Amino acid sequence: MTVSLCVREPYQVDGDRRFRFGVAAAAAVPGIGALAPVVSADGAAAMGGHIDDSLGDRLTRYLADGVAIDDAVEVLLGAADVSVRRGRQLHGVGRSSSVTATGRDCVAAADRDGDHYTVAGTHLPSETALDAIADRYTGAAFGEEPLAERLIDALSAATDSGIDTRRADGDADNDGPLTVGSAAVRVVTTESTDDRRFYNDLRVDASESPIADLETTYNAALLGYEQTVDAYAEPDDPDVL
């Protein structure tokens, strides 16, 4: 993994407290969307370094059982072999807390904890990328635009400084051997909706410009969502979900 942003946004609907949870991630290798984002109605997290395919499922179960995310991460990391734990990065937000954990063997790694958001990365050219992501997100936090759109926009703020020392990127003066990367965004809300919002779960699995392509994919998915809702009188029709 290279960089990722996890977000919790509480809001009110008819006097009831609801949550939006989201993750955006980008990497200098293909397929990060299948591994890094962990999002449910109880929290959002992202993994880096030594990624365990089952860790996300275990974390989701802990959160569903009411375990705070910082306590859940402590248990999960404590159960791992020391050498694996030192090379793993895990961060995220739950309903009432947040957590960042970066093993000391993670390469050029750093993290930020903003309480309702966390941002972290490995193989960073500099920590400027994390600050850029955090600043872009906090400038639009709780805004009217869909969370998925704001997450992608925040992720794009890191491209000027570069997101991975292993990636060939002339604009950021990186000359690493990797040219094909990936990016993903996923958002889950606790609010019941009649129609599936196609733009809330998107991946670009292999691209030479993954973040830009994720933005293009998002815009197309948003257009498709709007067209589908406009075209059918009953948005909860199972044929269009």
- The pLDDT-based confidence of 232 (bands split at 50, 70, 90) is confident
pLDDT band at 143 (very low <50, low <70, confident <90, very high): very high
Q: Domains in the chain: how many in total?
A: 1
pTM summary value: 0.91
Q: What is the CATH number of the domain that holds 211?
A: 3.60.20.10
pLDDT > 90? residue 167: no
pLDDT over 90, % of the chain: 71
Q: What is the pLDDT of residues 21-80, one digit of tens each?
A: 999 999 989 999 998 899 999 999 999 888 887 899 999 999 999 999 999 999 999 988
- Are the CB atoms for 89 and 47 separated by under 8 Å? yes
Inform me whether the pLDDT recorded for 125 exceeds 70: yes
Mean pLDDT estimate for the chain: 90
Q: Could you list the residue range(s) of the whole structural domain that residue 156 is in?
A: 3-240
SS3 string of 32-70? HHHCCEEEECCEEEEEEECCCCCHHHHHHHHHHCCCCHH
